[in-house]
Amino acid sequence: MNSRRDFLQKLTLSAITLPLLPGSLKPLNLPEENPEPYQGKVLRVAILGLGSYGTRVADAMQTCKRAKLVGAISGTPTKLKEWQTKYNIPAKNCYSYDNFDQIKNNKDIDAVYVITPNGLHRDQVIRVAKAGKHAICEKPMAINAQQGQQMIDACQAANVRLLVGYRMHFEPKTLEVIRMRQAGEFGKIKFFQGLSGFTIGDPKQWRLNKELAGGGAMMDIGIYSINGARYMVGEEPVWVTAQETKTDPVKFKEGVDETILFQMGFPSGAVASCLSTYSMNGLDKFYLNGEKGFAEMQPSTGYGPIKGQTHKGELNQPHITHQTVQMDEMAAIIFDNKKPEVPVDGQEGLRDLKIIDAIFLAAKTGKKVELKA
């Protein structure tokens, strides 16, 4: 496999509609079988970075009710031409990486979704904020916590929203496990396991370039286990330990991690044991254990369908395209100030970055690293 995108794409099947979720969680704004035409405000989005995932988001947005693809930003002129035709995007809403600051004068664009290599996120989001547009940024939000804070500060100064592409925060089976945990159905949470990994291909790709990626597997796939541990356990970790293994120092150069085992401890006494790797296939599993029951999800973070079970039986919420739900929900966050069950704002992205920084430090020093609140 060439990338995480290829790995997750293999898990994708065609979407079907989804009924309202059971339990105490608020229902998502999901498509109905015969929906009434939406009459409210629509979030008009330009996508910055027209690669494979940018295309996936663009395709998913074609069935959104509250979000619409209206613009494109790329360093490749031929891609801009292709997107104009494929998605009916006006030429005046297409920009290059050099001139996209001009979106400041384009009243047809409300937000820009940054889907570029991690190392470019900070500068591009800050430029979006200075242009007065809301910023949606793919995860990880930046390559370290310092950069993440700079992005948050820039968006606050410009009075625009900063949201992060945590699509799993809107995924129905994931939300059902969170609902069960909140309702006490697992009892006191004791343990979480997260396995995230695949065998990466092309050694020349940007994901193996420290400057562009900010690391290796941890920044690409390991972040799923970090974020998953937080929303599954329902707490913020207070310490981490980590051990790094590297079998191919030619492919995985200095600062580009191949495999990291890491552990997290939570205030309640719950612990997490996680694996992030670029050298093992088929690792996409979450397991949560409590005094009264368990939840197991495999695949746990792929594009879908997510599959899982708990001590009460199989999770049977139907699948719907993650990015469609995400973009409609982000429109509700921006326009209606809706509070999602699991945050997707800049502070949420920053929390993951602080943990990643601590994991890298723990792997380097061999010591437990305490996390500040």
| Catalytic residue set | 139, 224
Contacts of 78 (CB under 8 A, 6+ apart): none
Burial class, 157, CB count within 10 angstroms (exposed 0-12 / middle 13-18 / buried 19+)? exposed
Encoding tokens for residue 1? 């496999």
Contact residues for 281 (Cβ-Cβ < 8 A; gap 6+): 1, 197, 198, 199
Cβ burial of 183 (10 Å; 0-12, 13-18, 19+) is exposed
* Whole-number Å distance between alpha carbons of 338 and 238: 29
Q: Where are the beta strands (DSSP E) in the chain?
A: 43-48, 67-73, 94-95, 111-114, 134-137, 162-164, 189-197, 239-245, 259-265, 271-277, 283-290, 294-297, 308-310, 313-314, 369-370
Q: CB neighbours (10 Å) of residue 90?
A: 11
- CB-based contacts of 96, cutoff 8 Å, min separation 6: 73, 74, 75, 77, 80
